[in-house]
Amino acid sequence: MASPRKLATVAGVCYLVTHVTSIGGLFLYGPVLHNADYIVGRGADTRVLLGALFEVVLAIAIVGTAFTLFPVARRHSEGLAVGYVGLRTLEAAVITVGIVSLLAVVTLRQHPPQGADPASLLTTGRALVAVHDWTFLLGPNFVCGANTVVMAYLMYRSQLVPRFIAVLGLVGGPLIFASAIAELFGLYQQASGVGALTAIPVFAWELTLAIWLITRGFKPSAGAIDATAASPAGSERR
């Protein structure tokens, strides 16, 4: 079993990877997301494929945060720890659906079905981009808001990290969830200034959590040290 210090470091690195890959993937997807004629025009396919690769790494890192935190988190609340693993896995799965939808656009642009007219390809392409847009709302907003509250509450109650970090999550999770509801009903666009502002607390929660876990690890006073890992090497149960 890995030590809590190592688990904290890996979890922190995974959080940082999610930030880099999510921002990088969204930037690389620009041509297919913002060009309605992409599927029948001159496509930047290599750039889109690289964006897909970024998001594959993103999905893996998202799941990685949950599984590396689980061994320590379950000592304080197994139910919340399992819930976090499930929600993070769901978030990654939703993101993967969005990846597939944009890869399908690339495939149809490179190898359009025989006899397909440009109008039908445009309709299909826009529909696939719309699927990605909805996954972006459901995964990194709705589900992310829920799993943020779960882990932030566990961290606040257990004091595995300073409480000001947990408070960022307890504020940011409901805020981004409420913002997702507003976006769902068309009060403002996903890629809007208001939407970006509501995401700041969650961004701050994950970033400060990542930095703390990498540089300081879990607080020893919270009982993060696993008895098995702390026992002398070669000791046996009797």
Q: Which two tokens stand for residue 8?
A: 């904290």
Are the C-beta atoms of 76 and 155 separated by less than 8 Å? no
- Tokens 């304080």 belong to 76
Model pLDDT for residues 105-143, shown as the tens digit of each residue: 999 999 999 888 999 999 999 999 999 999 999 999 999
Give the pLDDT confidence score for residue 173 in this predicted structure. 97
Q: Which residue has the higher pLDDT, 156 or 228?
A: 156
Nearest-angstrom CA–CA distance, 132 and 95 = 8
pLDDT band at residue 222 under the 50/70/90 scheme: low
pLDDT at 228 over 70: no
Are the C-beta atoms of 61 and 14 separated by less than 8 Å? yes
Q: What is the DSSP letter of 225?
A: S
pLDDT band at residue 223 under the 50/70/90 scheme: low
Model pLDDT for residues 16-46, shown as the tens digit of each residue: 999 999 999 999 999 999 998 999 987 799 9
Model pLDDT for residues 60-92, shown as the tens digit of each residue: 999 999 999 999 999 999 999 999 999 999 999
Are the C-beta atoms of 71 and 1 separated by less than 8 Å? yes
pTM of the model: 0.90
pLDDT at 236 over 50: no
62: amino acid identity, one letter: I
Domain layout of the chain by residue ranges: 4-223
Nearest-angstrom CA–CA distance, 69 and 52 = 26
Sequence-ordered list of residues with C-beta below 8 angstroms from that of 167, at least 6 positions apart, any chain? 152, 156
